[in-house]
Every structure is written in C-alpha cells, then in structure tokens.
Amino acid sequence: MFGHKAGPGGTAPSGEALRLEGVRKVYGAEDNRVVALDGVSLSLPTGSFTAVMGPSGSGKSTLLQCAAGLDKPSAGRVLVDGAELSGDGEAALTKFRRERIGFVFQQFNLLPTLTVLQNVTLPLKLAGRRVDKDRAREILGRVGLGDRLGHLPAELSGGQQQRVAIARALVTEPRILFGDEPTGALDSRSARDVLGLLQEAVRVYGRTLVMVTHDPVAAAHADAVLYLADGRIVGHQSAPTAEAVAERMTRLADEVERQRTSGRTQAGV
C-alpha cells in the first residue's frame, strides 16, 4: 500500500499541500538573462492531482524544480504543507526534501547497481529512518513487482522501472509527490498503468500530486490542469478531458506564437 488510507471512504485530509507566492526564477547574467518563472502564485489542496502543461520553454520543469526544493527561486516563497522551503542552507533543504517530498522523473533515475528492493529502501536510509523492508515489499507488491525484488533495473522494462521509481518516491510517505513527465518515456499501455498507480496514490491514500506532462491523455487523469506560458500561469481547467486539454494547448501555442511574432514586429526584427 502507499501509506495510510485517507480517512473513511478515501476522502483526503483537508489542508494546503503546496503554496507558491510570487515565485520568480531568472537564469543567467545581464546579457543572457532568461526569466523562466515570472511571478507564479498558486495553492494546491492536500489530496489533489494537478497536471502542469504549457508550450516548450514555458517554465514547467523550472516550476517543479523550485516547488520541490531542487532549485531555488530568485524571489518569492514556496511552502510545502505550511512550512517554508527556506534558504537555511543546502543541508536543511535536503532534509526537508527527504522528509516531505517525492519525485518521479521521466528517465526513472534508479541506481543501476542496486536491486529493486534496495532502490526502494534507499530513501529511508538516506533520511536516517528505520529501513522497513516489509513495507517496501508491500509497496512493490502494490505496484505489481512483488516477484522482482532482487532484480536490477536493467533487467526490467521501462514501465516496470517507473513503477519501482513510484514505489521509491512513496516509501517515505511524502506530503507531496512531483512527476516531471513520468510517462514521457513509456509506451501507452505502460503509461496507463503508471497513471493508474499515481491516481490511486491520490484518490485512495490522499497523497498530493503535481505532474508536468506534454500528453493530453496523461493530463486528463488529473483533477485539474494548470497552463503556463512564458513563465506565467495563464489558465486553469477542472475535470479535464483529453480532447479539451488538446484543444486548449493548440490555442495556447497559437497565442504564444502570435505574441512572439508581434513582439518581433514591434522590435523591428
């Protein structure tokens, strides 16, 4: 299982899992400055599943990295479960991340020399917590890999590796789970399995999930979609369907292209 069930009937506990206040991220120095995030504010309730979409370069990965404490905003505040991701130094930030945040990457990022079971128990070791192998086995059983505990990542398919990564992200019972294109490297059937597991972590066990994706079908698994363009939130859609998301993305790409063209025209380029 993915932790304790979220109350009777699987309802999520109330509260705010993630809050961003005026988050800005600027890369580079004066002459090659890139404003990747331009004052992003948002609030996500505990037990919600949010997809983040937007054209290439709109700031999706930067948003996730800043929200997960993997990168520091240039300005603004990030609060996870009411506690600020502070600038108290790298060690404090790492501890905060290990205790409260889980991350699933497109390329799985499993350690190739560790077995499936060792990969999943590693976050507990790193956090200095008791390594509960029974619990790790239970989670791996839940993601359908109970018979692969001693295998190395290279002996698994992409979909199976991502399921190990999900088990690894959930073993510490994080307050919030971030996914940066977690289905981006998978075939559609494996992607569906992975999305089903992520949905279950939210709906049944009350985890909070924020997922960047380019895929409208993946986004339709979320409760809501946030749209980014040029580092700003430009839209929100509840109860998304794949068709509605695809349509919105097409419009957004057209708008961004029009604005860039008119910017170039105004600049006389």
Q: How far is the CB of 52 from ligand ATP (least distance, A)?
A: 9
Q: Answer yes or no whether residue 15 interacts with ligand ATP by CB under 6 A.
A: no
Closest to 80 measured CA to CA, from 121, 20, 142, 24: 20
Identify which of residues 27 and 147 has a Cβ nearer to ligand ATP in the complex: 27
Strand segments (E) across the chain: 16-27, 34-45, 49-53, 75-80, 83-84, 101-105, 176-180, 208-212, 224-229, 232-238
Identify which of residues 151 and 232 has a Cβ nearer to ligand ATP in the complex: 232
Q: Which residues contact 10 (CB under 8 A, 6 or more apart)?
A: 203, 204, 205, 206
Q: Answer yes or no whether residue 54 interacts with ligand ATP by CB under 6 A.
A: yes
Identify which of residues 116 and 209 has a Cβ nearer to ligand ATP in the complex: 209
Stretch near ligand ATP under the rule CB under 6 A, chosen from 27-35, 145-153, 182-190, 193-201: 27-35
Q: Answer yes or no whether residue 61 interacts with ligand ATP by CB under 6 A.
A: yes
Look up residue 246 and give its two tokens.
Answer: 């695809």
Looking at residue 169, its amino acid is A
Closest to 181 measured CA to CA, from 54, 74, 84: 54
Identify which of residues 40 and 202 has a Cβ nearer to ligand ATP in the complex: 40
Q: Answer yes or no whether residue 74 interacts with ligand ATP by CB under 6 A.
A: no
Q: Answer yes or no whether residue 182 interacts with ligand ATP by CB under 6 A.
A: no
Which DSSP string do the residues of 160-173 spell out, in sequence order?
HHHHHHHHHHHTT-
Three-class DSSP category at 185: coil
H/E segment holding residue 249: helix 242-266
Identify which of residues 61 and 237 has a Cβ nearer to ligand ATP in the complex: 61
Identify which of residues 56 and 265 has a Cβ nearer to ligand ATP in the complex: 56
Look up residue 23 and give its two tokens.
Answer: 């988050």
Q: Which residues contact 162 (CB under 8 A, 6 or more apart)?
A: 104, 108, 182, 183, 185, 186, 190, 194
Of 58, 106, 161, 213, the one binding ligand ATP by CB under 6 A: 58
Q: How far is the CB of 41 from ligand ATP (least distance, A)?
A: 17
Q: Answer yes or no whether residue 57 interacts with ligand ATP by CB under 6 A.
A: yes
Stretch near ligand ATP under the rule CB under 6 A, chosen from 49-57, 154-162, 169-177, 251-259: 49-57
Q: How far is the CB of 131 from ligand ATP (least distance, A)?
A: 34
For 234, half-sphere exposure in the C-beta direction (CA atoms, 13 angstrom radius) is: 20
Identify which of residues 106 and 121 has a Cβ nearer to ligand ATP in the complex: 106
Q: Answer yes or no whether residue 56 interacts with ligand ATP by CB under 6 A.
A: yes
Of 5, 27, 41, 109, the one binding ligand ATP by CB under 6 A: 27
User: What residues make contact with ligand ATP under the rule CB under 6 A?
Assistant: 27-28, 34, 36, 54, 56-62
